[in-house]
């Protein structure tokens, strides 16, 4: 199962790494793809709680919205 978010404020590889590290700590997350353009795709075996994702992105210093 893949879930996509748009992250704002990222500009470099360090930004990508910070977001990826925080998202990777969420239970059930199997994979994280993030690009400096702000595209975040989370792969999981079950639905991931949007609030946990948004909190993790916030912890990394950015903001995100779920994409339809």
Q: What is the CATH number of the domain that holds 29?
A: 3.30.70.100
Structural domain count of the chain:
1
Mean pLDDT of the chain: 95
pLDDT tens digit sequence for 10-61 = 989 999 999 999 999 999 999 999 998 999 999 999 999 999 999 999 999 9
pLDDT tens digit sequence for 41-50 = 999 999 999 9
Q: Exposed (0-12), middle (13-18) or buried (19+): which is 67, by Cβ within 10 Å?
A: exposed
> What pLDDT is stored for residue 36 in this prediction?
86
The C-alpha atoms of residue 60 and residue 45 are separated, in whole angstroms, by 24
Give the DSSP H/E element, type plus range, for residue 48.
none
Domain coverage including residue 50: 2-66
The C-alpha atoms of residue 36 and residue 47 are separated, in whole angstroms, by 24
Question: Tokens 């909190």 appear where?
Answer: 55
Count of CB atoms within 10 A of residue 20's CB? 17
């Amino acid at each position: 199962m893949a879930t996509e978010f748009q992250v704002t404020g990222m500009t470099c590889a360090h930004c990508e790494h910070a977001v990826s590290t925080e998202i990777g700590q969420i239970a059930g997350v199997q994979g994280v793809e993030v690009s400096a353009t702000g595209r975040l795709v989370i792969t999981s075996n079950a639905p991931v709680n949007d609030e946990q994702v948004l909190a993790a992105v916030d912890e990394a210093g950015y903001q995100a919205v779920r994409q339809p």
